[in-house]
Amino acid sequence: MNEIQEKIETIEERNKRVELDKAWETSFVRRGFIACVTYLIAMWFMWSIGVDDAYLNALVPTGGYLLSTLSLPFIKNLWIKNKR
């Protein structure tokens, strides 16, 4: 009986870790951090190659990233619906 209880506790601990990983993957903190890093790298690259208004133009790839993350839940739900 003790062995079964240990296995259950191990599974519950694993489930908590998996839930936290899922929460991180969809969190606004993660998306915001990636968007900031994307903006800074794009801005630096554009500035280094002499693009006019690099600060403004760096918003394009950043906006593309944010739009893609916003559309993914919608697309995922459509995919799941069609798979059933």
pLDDT digits (tens, 9 = 90+) for 41-80: 999 999 999 999 999 999 999 999 998 888 778 888 888 8
Half-sphere exposure of residue 83: CA atoms within 13 angstroms, side-chain side: 6
Q: What is the pLDDT of residue 76?
A: 83
Record the pTM: 0.74
Task: Transcribe the chain into DSSP letters.
Answer: -HHHHHHHHHHHHHHHHHHHHHHHHT-HHHHHHHHHHHHHHHHHHHHHTT-TTHHHHTHHHHHHHHHHHHHHHHHHHHHHHHH-
